[in-house]
Amino acid sequence: MSVPPVGVRFVRLYDRDNGKTVGLKLGEELHVILPESSPNPTTWPPVLYTQVILRFVQMYFTPDPGNSQVGTRTLAFCTLKSGQAKVKLTTTGHTTWECTANVK
């Protein structure tokens, strides 16, 4: 599993947080952690996000112990400037997950 550099604060959102709004400060990261049934890097691509306010940093798969075909996909974004950002992710099966980030 990857983590932000030492000293960088981050907020985690999960599948259950779909549709929520989160507050972030400049310099913090947003980590969206969603279930995935295979280690396919295109299963949860970041299809829409406010690029002026957030920057996509990385995406990685973490397998569950004992079954490497099931696990979670983490997508990390860092804040660039103050404002409201939307993030919308859609699987290849058309499942949508989204959130709003208020950056101050």
The token pair that represents 90 in the structure block:
């859609």
66, 50, 64, 57: which is closest to 101 by C-alpha?
A: 50
Signed CA dihedral, 12, 76, 42, 19: sign only? positive
Q: What does the pLDDT read at residue 47?
A: 65
Q: What is the pLDDT of residue 39?
A: 52
Q: CATH topology for 10-103?
A: Immunoglobulin-like (2.60.40)
**Predicted pLDDT of residue 44:** 66
- The pLDDT of residue 50 is 83
37 contacts 69 by C-beta, under 8 angstroms = yes
Tokens of 80: 């660039």
pLDDT by 10s per residue, the chain, length 104: 456 566 678 999 999 999 999 999 999 999 999 988 765 554 666 668 888 999 999 888 888 899 888 888 899 999 999 999 999 998 777 788 999 999 99
pLDDT at 3: 60
